[in-house]
């Protein structure tokens, strides 16, 4: 059995540099205090709350505390240093965000912090998770609780898939039927995932995420995946005739109509609204699986729609199908398929577009772990923990190397999900694996080491009531 004593490097994602001092340990006890520079009081409050929850006693903020938080502008923005001696723990970040990631490292090691120095910074600036609220809705409180789980692994973007054939999950002023009808009872796969985010709910998620240094990336999927919109507004169909609600998991049958002005009035209204509601830099317009959109119409549609996020101050992201058309200069392409190569994505990269790597055979959290997994799909194959860990984003697609990569994302589609426990089961422990791929230097990663480190989260997830998968390839402590 694995030793339960923590080593300084027992952290996920594994830090860039770890220098232990073997004879020193700092133990957080009743009376340990926290001192911070005034600019980082928010991070100090977060840490004080988290330590109180973890240890059962208050860790007050005030002068003379043995845990010290501050900034060091010589570090990378998301970088941090953590220095542990027998008498003090000092965390410094390049920015408050970097400090926040240092605090996550501290929390993973607490309450008995092994002595030494960690110097750390991320490999990629975009480290994402995606949650599909369209096939099954999750409430604002459920999304917030999910964010709390994600930030422990230094995930800094949460992509919300807000619209699809089965449901429309974000209130849009002026288009009330989108959510009244397509966010109402009976929506979602099998009719089992009703609900929608009000403007207040969405603002609440955005603020909650921002307080944890997470950027929300909203997706409005188009021109395909729009049955819910067309069901609510028949003026968006080709002949203006109503279409029935759909709760099956078919894809590719619906499309906005490229040759109709109503389409663009709707799309621009929605994009402007979502841009106004979203402080983050990105707006995702989908663009995937448009199997019923003729290629010419797809081009016409996208050539009008791709510039719209930019018009409203956002940088456009689309699934890699958008790389078939000419892209705005700052557009981002999200690769999701399982092919060994993709010409269009490679050409976009060559032309200077950035790529988010999310190949389904490595990063899709909705794939089954093994043939017996009760939840999930298997069209991209089975994805056990090792498959989600043992790959490299810079080797995944010819022509899409390190410089082209903005980062990595782990999408969770919700066709088979019915509860938060289902989300957790598919997310953990694969999300920590992908978080390490996205954060840690390639040379620092090692499957055997990860396998050991992830085991230590079992008891923590048990204590927190997180319904993780006890993957057989991990020696979970009993
Ligand atoms: C493909 S990935 C889709 C989604 C499905 C998912 C299920 C992508 C851009 N589109 O519509 O939910 O597979 O794994």
Residue 212 has pLDDT above 80, yes or no: yes
Ligand 1 and 336: CB distance under 6 A: yes
Closest Cα partner for 234 from 203, 261, 262, 192? 262
Among 70, 96, 120, the domain-final residue is: 120
* 106, part of any domain: yes
Identify whether residues 295 and 340 lie together within a single domain: yes
255 and 183 co-located in one domain? yes
Helix (H) or strand (E) holding 262: helix 261-277
Q: Pick the atom of ligand 1 nearest to 319's CA.
A: 9
Q: Are 106 and 230 in a shared domain?
A: no
Q: Which atom of ligand 1 is nearest to the CA of 334?
A: 9
Residues that are catalytic: 289
Using the mean position of ligand 1's atoms as its centre, give its distance from the Cα of residue 414 in Å: 9
Atom of ligand 1 nearest to the CA of 289: 10
> Which residue's CA is the nearest one to ligand 1's atom 9?
288
CA of 280 to the centre of ligand 1 (A): 24
Going from the Cα of 458 to the center of ligand 1, the distance in angstroms, rounded, reads 29
What is the whole-number distance in angstroms between the Cα of residue 190 and the centre of ligand 1?
17
- Ligand 1: centre distance to CA 221 (Å): 11
Pair (167, 310) in one structural domain? yes
Q: In this structure, are 381 and 417 located in the same domain?
A: yes
245 sits in which H/E element = none
CA–CA dist 113, 187 (Å, integer): 48
Segment 222-243 shows an average pLDDT of 98
Query: Has residue 1 got a pLDDT over 50?
Result: no
- 337 plus 208 within the same structural domain: yes
- Within this chain, do residues 340 and 412 fall inside the same structural domain, yes or no? yes
Ligand 1 atom at minimal distance to the Cα of residue 132: 12
Residues 219 and 274 in one domain: yes
Q: How many CB atoms lie within 10 A of CB 24?
A: 14
- Whichever domain contains 34, its CATH number is 3.30.379.10
Mean of pLDDT values over 29-57: 97
The last residue of one of the domains, among 120, 144, 166, is: 120
Ligand 1 centroid to residue 413 C-alpha, Å: 7
Question: Which of 162, 193, 288 maximizes ligand 1 atoms within 8 Å of its Cβ, making it the mutation to test the pocket?
Answer: 288
Is 3 part of a structural domain of the chain?
no
In a domain, 233, yes or no: yes
- Same domain flag for 235 and 360: yes
Note whether residue 80 is domain-resident: yes
Q: Is 390 in the pocket of ligand 1 (CB under 6 A)?
A: no
27 with 158, same domain: the answer is: no
- Indicate if 214 and 157 belong to the same structural domain: yes
Region 158-179 average pLDDT: 98
Whats the size of the chain, residue-wise?
478
Q: Which of 91, 120, 149 is the last residue of a domain?
A: 120
Asked if residue 423 has pLDDT above 60, the reply is yes
pLDDT surpassing 60 at residue 264: yes
Q: Which residue has a Cα nearest atom 13 of ligand 1?
A: 413
CA of 209 from ligand 1 middle (Å) equals: 25
Instruction: Name which of 250, 259, 310, 257 is nearest 285 in CA terms.
Output: 310
Residue 469 lies in a domain: no
Ligand 1 in reach of 366 Cβ (< 6 A)? yes
The residue whose CA has the least distance to atom 4 of ligand 1 is 413
209 and 70 within one domain: no
8 Å CB contact between 103 and 47: yes
Average pLDDT, the chain: 97
Q: Rounded CA gap, 201 and 144, in Å?
A: 10
How confident is the model over 198-211, as pLDDT tens digits? 999 999 999 999 99
Quick one: pLDDT band at residue 191, thresholds 50, 70, 90?
very high
Tokens of 34: 């926290």
| Residue 347: closest CA among 364, 358, 331, 363 | 331
Does some domain include residue 435?
A: yes
User: How many independent structural domains does the chain possess?
Assistant: 2
Does residue 3 register a pLDDT over 80?
no
Any atom of ligand 1 within 6 Å of the Cβ of 249:
no
CA of 290 to the centre of ligand 1 (A): 11
Q: Residue 464: its pLDDT value, please? A: 95
The CATH number given to whatever domain includes residue 330 is 3.20.20.80
Q: Max CA-CA distance within the chain?
A: 76
| 76-122 pLDDT per residue, tens | 999 999 999 999 999 999 999 999 999 999 999 999 999 999 999 99
Examine the pLDDT at 403 and tell me if it is beyond 90: yes
**CB-ligand 1 contact for 101 (6 Å cutoff):** no
Beta carbon of 140 within 6 Å of any ligand 1 atom = no
**Do the domain assignments include residue 8?**
no
Q: Return the pLDDT at 4.
A: 54
Q: How far apart are CA 247 and CA 187, in angstroms?
A: 7
The average pLDDT across 255-284 equals 98
Select from 132, 166, 251, 379 the residue to mutate for testing ligand 1; criterion: most ligand atoms less than 8 Å from CB.
251
Q: Answer yes or no: is 114 within a domain.
A: yes
What domain range includes position 176? 126-448
User: Which atom of ligand 1 has the smallest separation from the CA of 251?
Assistant: 11
Which residue lies with its CA nearest to atom 8 of ligand 1?
Answer: 288
Cβ atoms of 163 and 173 within 8 Å: the answer is: no
Per-residue confidence (pLDDT) for residue 22, from 0 to 100 = 83
Token pair belonging to 74: 């010589």
> 413 in ligand 1 pocket by Cβ < 6 Å?
yes
Angle between helix 447-455 and helix 430-439 axes, rounded to 10 deg? 130
Give percent of the chain with pLDDT exceeding 90.
Answer: 98
Q: Would you place residue 478 in the very low, low, confident or very high pLDDT band (cuts 50, 70, 90)?
A: confident
């Amino acid at each position: 059995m694995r030793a339960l004593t923590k080593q300084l490097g027992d952290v996920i994602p594994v830090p860039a540099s770890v220098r232990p001092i073997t004879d020193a340990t700092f133990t957080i006890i009743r009376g340990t205090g926290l001192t911070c520079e005034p600019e980082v009081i928010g991070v100090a409050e977060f840490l004080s709350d988290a330590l109180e929850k973890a240890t059962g006693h208050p860790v007050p903020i005030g002068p003379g505390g043995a845990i010290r938080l501050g900034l060091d502008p010589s570090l990378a923005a998301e970088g941090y240093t953590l220095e542990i001696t027998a008498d003090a723990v000092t965390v410094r970040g390049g920015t408050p965000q970097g400090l926040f990631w240092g605090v996550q490292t501290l929390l993973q090691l607490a309450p008995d912090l092994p002595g030494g120095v960690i110097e750390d910074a991320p490999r990629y600036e975009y480290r994402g998770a995606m949650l599909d609220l369209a096939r099954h809705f999750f409430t604002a409180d459920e999304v917030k609780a999910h964010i709390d789980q994600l930030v422990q692994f230094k995930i800094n973007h949460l992509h919300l898939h807000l619209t699809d054939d089965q449901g429309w999950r974000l209130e849009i002023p002026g288009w009330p039927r989108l959510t009244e009808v397509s966010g109402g009872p009976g929506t979602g796969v099998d009719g089992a995932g009703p609900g929608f985010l009000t403007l207040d709910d969405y603002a609440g998620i955005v603020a909650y995420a921002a307080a944890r240094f997470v950027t929300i990336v909203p997706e409005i999927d188009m021109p395909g995946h729009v049955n819910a919109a067309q069901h609510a507004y028949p003026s968006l169909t080709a002949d203006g005739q109503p279409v029935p609600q759909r709760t099956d998991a078919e894809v590719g049958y619906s499309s906005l109509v490229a040759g109709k002005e109503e389409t663009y009035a709707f799309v621009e209204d929605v994009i402007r609204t979502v841009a106004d509601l979203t402080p983050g830099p990105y707006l995702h317009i989908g663009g995937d699986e448009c199997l019923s959109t003729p290629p010419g119409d797809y081009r016409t549609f996208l050539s009008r729609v791709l510039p719209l996020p930019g018009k409203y101050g956002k940088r456009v992201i689309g699934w890699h199908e958008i790389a078939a058309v000419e892209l705005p200069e700052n557009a981002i392409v999200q690769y999701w398929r399982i092919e060994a190569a993709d010409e269009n994505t490679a050409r976009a990269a060559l032309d200077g577009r950035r790529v988010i790597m999310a190949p389904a055979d490595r990063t899709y959290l909705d794939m089954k772990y093994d043939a017996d997994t009760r939840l999930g799909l298997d069209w991209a194959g089975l994805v056990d923990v090792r498959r989600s860990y043992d790959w490299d984003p810079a080797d995944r697609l010819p022509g899409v190397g390190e410089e082209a990569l903005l980062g990595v994302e782990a999408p969770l589609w919700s066709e088979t999900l019915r509860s938060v426990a289902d989300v957790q089961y598919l997310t953990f422990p694969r999300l920590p694996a992908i978080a390490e791929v996205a954060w840690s230097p390639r040379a620092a990663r090692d499957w055997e080491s990860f396998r050991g480190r992830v085991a230590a989260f079992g008891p923590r997830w048990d204590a927190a009531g997180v319904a993780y998968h006890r993957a057989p390839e991990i020696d979970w402590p009993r």
